[in-house]
Amino acid sequence: MTYQDTYATGRRTGPSAPYGGRPAAPVPPGVPRRGPGGRRALSAVFWLGLVAAVLPWWLATPPGSLADTTGLLTAAGRITGLVAGYLLLVQVLMMSRLGALERRLGGERISRAHRDVGATLLVAVLAHLALLVVGYARMEKNSILGQVGALLTHYEDMVSAFVAAGIMVAVGLTAVRGVRRRLPYELWHHLHLTSYLALLLGYGHQFSNGAQLYEPGPVRTGWIAAYLLVVAALVWGRLIVPLRFNLRHRLRVADVVAESPDTISIYLTGHRLNQIDLLGGQYFRWRFLNPGCWWQSHPFSLSAAGNGRWLRLTVKVVGGHTAELRDLRPGTRVWAQGPSGTFTAAHRTRERALLIAGGSGIAPLRAMLEELPPGAALIYRARTPADVLLHNELDWLAQARHTSVWYVVGSRDDPGPRQVMSPEGLRRLVPDLTRRDVYLCGPGGLVEEAVRALRRAGVPRRQIHLATFEL
């Protein structure tokens, strides 16, 4: 098959891939699927926790106290305060990188839940503040500004609580998609980590002023235990597990290979690599300990399944940090956290799969091809033939795994690629499309258009998997 002017489709077969691309051992059978039981259990725990957070207010509040507007306002303020306190704990827990959560939910679901819970938390915090200020002002016959001043001067730990609320508003604003896209990744990431500070600053006023929490008893003890559990999860997921992993495996850079003018592959070696429990499609957060990169940590997927001898990540050079990676020297030490994510063959819901990649988004899908059952299909979008990465390896896997591979080459406005990526074009290439899981990884525009086309083609949302890397 040869490339046409605007696009090319067809099954590619070719020579065996060179060292670095071909699996070190015979291609294994497909990785077995995992059920959704863990996700459902975690969802049930979340809702039960929310009920448990509000239940003390319900049990301790006599019906007569809600007879007037002032009582309703203060009651609503206390309820939203309990909800906000609980959601803040959930938010920080989702940021803990706890292995049990990441294995059962995966990056996409955690990211979506983090976004949704974060928006609800912001509303709850603002409602808690506004309702209590207005309610207390009515109760004490004070002005709104006068009541704010009274809270700050006469109530213990209120200054820190107001600062915590300000931090959460700032974090919420930086999470808006338009704002986030304009911020450098590291700046956004460090601003996001101030959520930990909000947890610390908001802790005191809950127990010194909270109607349900200031008196000693089982409710107060339960909330303190919840705080301790979340802090323990943070220490475990962010400190102990990464430290143990890196002391055990001691990763170092072995080589840096140019895959194209703007894409490199980094090969890593280390100790006991065969004991790393990883799946194709998962990612690590990498910190390269050289003078230009040590202070930054970025998520990159592996572009080859584990083979016990080396690890490989394939990176597109798009900014200052990734440009520094071109100059990594063999022997550079690497600090890694992971593996993470459920963008894997084990989390499919159907036996067969369709993979759709764009540009460097081929990396996790190429690794996943080694672990999917035979009969998978791959559609690879690229602007030019030179932008097609790892094609020798894909050709080898097409033969070894009986995989259909189509290279769709051309700009997004060319009629050929637009036709192929339409609902009709996808069904023409993959007639059993609706009976497959679909994995997508690539530029945001490509992924959004592909999801729309897949949904119009009748693919259920639960069968569409997106590569989402980071909180």
pLDDT reading at 399 higher than 60: yes
Q: Tell me if 353 sits within 8 A of 401, measured CB to CB.
A: no
Place of tokens 């926790």: 49
Please state, as a whole number, how many other Cβ atoms lie within 10 Å of the Cβ of residue 440: 23
Hey, what's the torsion of the CAs at 322, 324, 326, 328, to 10 degrees? -120
pLDDT averaged over every residue in the chain: 84
Q: How many CB atoms lie within 10 A of CB 435?
A: 12
Cα-based distances in Å from 180 to 96, 323, 407 = 21, 21, 32
Taking the C-alpha atoms of residue 175 and residue 188, their distance in angstroms, rounded to an integer, is: 8
Pick the residue with more confidence: 164 or 456? Answer: 456
Residue 148 has which token pair?
């704010």
**pLDDT for 74 beyond 70:** yes
Sorting pLDDT into bands at 50, 70 and 90, what band is 165? confident
Band (406; pLDDT cuts 50, 70, 90): very high
**Structure confidence at residue 469 (pLDDT):** 54
CB-CB neighbours of 211 under 10 Å? 16
Find the helix or strand (DSSP H, E) in which 401 lies.
Answer: none
Quick one: pLDDT band at residue 173, thresholds 50, 70, 90? confident
CA–CA gap between residue 77 and residue 211 (Å, rounded): 11
Residue 92 has pLDDT above 70, yes or no: yes
pLDDT tier for residue 200 given thresholds of 50, 70 and 90: confident
Per-residue pLDDT at 11 exceeds 60: no
The continuous run of DSSP H or E covering 340 comes out as strand 334-340
Residue closest to 18 by CA, chosen among 396, 430, 436: 396
Q: Residue 453 pLDDT > 80, yes or no? A: yes
Residue 13 has pLDDT above 60, yes or no: no
Give the tens place of pLDDT for each residue, 233-280. 999 998 999 999 999 999 999 999 999 888 999 999 999 999 998 899
Is omega for the bond preceding 62 within 30 degrees of 0, making it cis?
Answer: no
Q: What is the pLDDT of residue 32?
A: 59
Tell me how far apart the alpha carbons of residues 371 and 31 are, in angstroms, rounded to a whole number: 5
Confidence of residue 22 (pLDDT cuts 50, 70, 90): very low
Adjacent-strand bridge partners of 316: 263
Determine the angle formed by the axes of helices 158-174 and 195-209, rounding to 10 degrees. Answer: 150
CA distance 357 to 3: 17
What pTM does this model have?
0.76
Query: How many Å apart are CA 208 and CA 81, to the nearest integer?
Result: 14
**411-426 per-position pLDDT tens digit:** 877 888 888 999 999 9
Identify the pLDDT of residue 268.
Answer: 96
Per-residue pLDDT reduced to its tens digit, 346-395: 888 899 999 999 988 999 999 999 999 999 999 999 988 888 999 899 99
Work out the end-to-end distance of the chain between its first and last CA atoms, rounded to an integer number of angstroms: 41
Which is more confident, 313 or 200? Answer: 313
Give me the pLDDT at residue 37, please: 61
**Amino acid in the structure at residue 129:** L
DSSP 67: S
